[in-house]
Amino acid sequence: MAILLHKESKVIVQGITGRDGSFHTREMVAYGTQVVGGVTPGKGGQNLDGIPIFDTVRGAVDATGADISVIFVPPAFSTEALYEAIDGGVGLVICITEGVPANDMIGVYDIAKAKGVRLIGPNCPGLISPGKSKVGILPGQIHTPGRVGVISRSGTLTYEVVHTLTARGIGQSTCIGIGGDPIVGSNYLDLLALFQEDDETDAVVLIGEIGGTDEEEAAEWIRKNFSKPVVSFIAGQTAPPGKRMGHAGAIIAGGKGTAEDKMAALEKAGVPVAKIPSEIGPLMQEALGG
């Protein structure tokens, strides 16, 4: 099984006619994703490789029955695209766009929660259920079907960790990049709860980074509520306080958000913490009893 994304999922692409949108639409289709439509205002009635294009999300959903929208819209128009997706009738919105204003995300987050729409991102690589479907920019060729879930704040680290898992014969159920911004639609707790209920996920890899307290909160939730093995890695272990490392949310501020604090919280919760990404494979093999 998988969480959130399945072979039957129907996807629309907001920004399908742009450079990134069109490229990754073709990559998703090649992987086997059911991309049933695209949205670009003013280009309704056109198509991309036979995929119909609509002027609005609502029009695309009504015509295709899509249940997922993925956003490749430039930052200047991303907030409007997010609100349109949330109001458009899909149950899951994935925002790949980097540079969405944090202040705007406060309102977007609240509206999505109020309407019962799950949001992944922004500033994320998306998600993939290997062998079934992928939505976003994750490279499908490094993933393999299996029973280990992956949740990550870092896109490129997701790829590295998945590659090490696959190289050791450890397949994945669903891999999700939640995004590295200060405010994202879904956090570790939201997704750990889904993996806890998934009877075909046996363990989870949690990839964190400096900044904020999400990893500490996840560690406490795992200790109290999660019954499956978890292996972790925290990026930014050598980052100096006050310097942002890569992501908008990856900054140690006010004495909080250090790698040491996060690693200590996870270890206290019984979660092994890899010192370098290449240790994740062996630690997961050990956690799975092999």
Please report, in tens digits, the pLDDT of each residue of the chain (290 residues total).
689 999 999 999 999 999 999 999 999 999 999 999 999 999 999 999 999 999 999 999 999 999 999 999 999 999 999 999 999 999 999 999 999 999 999 999 999 999 999 999 999 999 999 999 999 999 999 999 999 999 999 888 899 999 999 999 999 999 999 998 989 999 999 999 999 999 999 999 999 988 888 999 999 999 999 999 999 999 877 666 655 555 554 444 444 578 899 999 999 999 999 999 999 999 999 999 87
Same fold, 10-120 and 139-287: yes
For 238, counting Cβ atoms within 10 Å of its Cβ (0-12 exposed, 13-18 middle, 19+ buried), the class is exposed
Separation between Cα atoms, residue 267 and residue 35, nearest integer Å: 41
Separation between Cα atoms, residue 66 and residue 269, nearest integer Å: 40
Domain boundaries, the chain: 10-120, 139-287
**pLDDT value for 254:** 45
Could you confirm whether 6 is annotated as catalytic?
A: no
Separation between Cα atoms, residue 197 and residue 207, nearest integer Å: 20
The H or E element containing residue 127 is strand 126-129
**pLDDT value for 242:** 55
Strand partners, 142: none
Candidate CATH numbers 3.30.40.10, 3.40.50.261, 3.40.50.880, 1.10.1060.10; the one for domain 139-287: 3.40.50.261
The H or E element containing residue 267 is helix 259-268
Separation between Cα atoms, residue 56 and residue 80, nearest integer Å: 12
* pTM for the model: 0.93
CATH number of 10-120: 3.40.50.720
Residues in contact with 94: Cβ distance below 8 Å, sequence separation at least 6, in sequence order: 68, 69, 70, 71, 119, 120, 121, 124, 126, 127, 135, 136
Q: Which of 24, 143, 163, 247 is catalytic?
A: 247
**Cα 78 from chain centre:** 17
